[in-house]
Structure 1
């Protein structure tokens, strides 16, 4: 797999660059998870899990590659996907099936992890019915953070699929060609997890977890950009009859592993 060129400079980072990150905290109780009820687990029709976040009563933001079945390299029928808002120990604050889905028109599902793949790895899921639960409040989004900014991530993963975990403090190590390179602790299942900025009064989503890479034995997270890309997705949903579709020319092939010059991509996290 080709190396994302923007990662090469990270080989020069000091080994202690991620030492100030906070550990993952499992949000097992209602009190602990109260502020994060709009983050939920996405059950992908028996094909695994991803993480998603509500950004409107009927819209869930996630990673585009979550919409593909990696076993056959074909799109998953979005009506087989379920969003479990605030899923915790067998219960959710709201359950919703997905009506339709749109992915970024420039996203390409392929075997190479590149800057264009990661930066466009976002999708919107339109729910069958809006969530009007007063405890499940959609998050606002914001511009991507600067290098050095403190951020946080709320995610599910393969080994903690029954409750979300919060990493309240991690850092933006770099911004390269629309990709956020972050010190955040993510694992398989965390694809689509919201990346939060805490600079205002309320946490706002500034990116979506796409993949992870390894540098000098340290794992880093890669995040997609939002900003005008979200406007593109909203416009797609506004088109009458627009459902889940792939851009022309998309290659549907299995994602693999590879390494070069000491940095190794591990693969998208679903």
Structure 2
């Protein structure tokens, strides 16, 4: 099974054949975007873009390979990545700079595309300021079985970078050994987007899009089981959060008043 996965994953850069997927829809206006505002485009310096999804007002879930500078192999510096929630035709419902990034620690140990790398291809990005619930309602994480193996995806991608494209219904092909394979129509730029499964009336995040290959007949997407990974990344963000600088207040002798000294600098300089 694992060797078969390797052979597919190695085809990442050459899998260009289009899949005959149904029910794709571009979300161009405010009515279309309703319920999908938490999906956004991650503009990454000069390196292009990925897709990310809010899981809290100030936390974006995406792929680890979208969070690392290609030249240095280190997470992007504060301000180099911008999350543009609900971007449509050049206008976003909210824009926030990313000020902190946590990447799964095992990802760097697997530099080559492999099943081991896909299993940990997950990152969290903390925003400079929360996005209000009235603008975008974050997605919850899914756990357990998926009824009927039906999933959905909403992402940006090559040739569809200016608005979310939502594929209403695609299917899980296999879910085994920490990997999830699916037949959703993904392309470059779809990396980091959420694979969504229903829980009652709500869609919840089951996995993150990591890679694409082919089984010889159709394009196949790869993601990972998220159980435990997101909680670990949240802990890393809390542990490594930059400490705010202390405010300094200069007292005026005899006046009982104070004047500002150094300004309070919030984490990330926001």
* TM-score for the superposition, normalised by structure 2: 0.79
Q: 1:51 to 1:9 in 2, by over 3 A?
A: closer
Distance across 1 between alignment mates of 2:145 and 2:47: 32
- Match in the other structure for 2:5: 7
Q: Is the Cα contact below 8 Å between 1:211 and 1:223 reproduced in 2?
A: yes
> Are positions 1:112 and 2:97 aligned together?
no
- Match in the other structure for 1:236: 236
- Match in the other structure for 1:15: none
Higher relative contact order structure (alpha carbons within 8 Å, sequence separation ≥ 6): 1
Q: CA RMSD of the aligned region, Å? A: 2.4
**For the pair shown, which has the larger CA radius of gyration, 1 or 2?**
2
Deviates more, 1:94-103 or 1:210-219: 210-219
Distance across 1 between alignment mates of 2:188 and 2:40: 15
Structure 1 unaligned blocks of 5 or more: 11-17, 244-270
Q: How does 1:168-183 map to 2 (within 5 A)?
A: 168-183=168-183
- Match in the other structure for 2:122: 122
- Match in the other structure for 2:50: 50
Q: Is the Cα contact below 8 Å between 1:154 and 1:193 reproduced in 2?
A: yes
Structure 2 unaligned blocks of 5 or more: 9-18, 244-270
Q: Is the Cα contact below 8 Å between 2:156 and 2:164 reproduced in 1?
A: yes
Distance across 2 between alignment mates of 1:187 and 1:54: 21
Q: Is the Cα contact below 8 Å between 1:64 and 1:103 reproduced in 2?
A: yes
Distance across 2 between alignment mates of 1:168 and 1:54: 19
DSSP-derived class of the 1:77 partner: coil
Number of residue pairs aligned between Structure 1 and Structure 2: 233
Q: 1:26 to 1:143 in 2, by over 3 A?
A: same
* TM-score for the superposition, normalised by structure 1: 0.79
DSSP-derived class of the 1:221 partner: strand
